[in-house]
Chain A
Amino acid sequence: MKLDLGISSSSSLQAAVKFSKLADRDSLNCIWIREDPRAQPEIFTVASIILLETSTLKVGTEVTSPLDRNISTIARAAATLSQMGRERLRLGLDAAGPNTLMRDTATLLRRLWTGETVTFTSDRFRLRNYYARYKPSFATPIYFGARNPKLLALAGEIADGVILSGPKRYIEKAVAVVDQGLKKRKRRRGSFRFVAWVPTAIIDKKSDLRLAREAVATVLAVTPEAVLKMAGIAQGRVMPIKAMMVEKGVNGASRIIAEDLLQEVAIFGSPEEVALDLKSLEKYGIDEAIFGAPYGREPAKAIGEMARAWKSLR
Chain B
Amino acid sequence: MSTPVQDDANQKRSETAWAPPTTRMKVGEMSAAVRNINVDGRQPLSPLQGFGQMWQKTFQLRLTGVDKTPAEIMQIWKENFPNFQPPDNRFYPTMAGIKPGEVLLIAAKVPPFPGLPSILPVDTGVMVLYADDTTFTVMTPEGHPEAGWNTFSVYEEDDSLVAQCQSLCRPNDPLYDFFNRFLGASGQQDQIWIHVLESLGDHLGVRGQATTTKVLVDPKVQWSQAKNIWHNAGIRTIFYLLGTPLRWLRRKGSAESKA
- Report whether chain A binds chain B: no
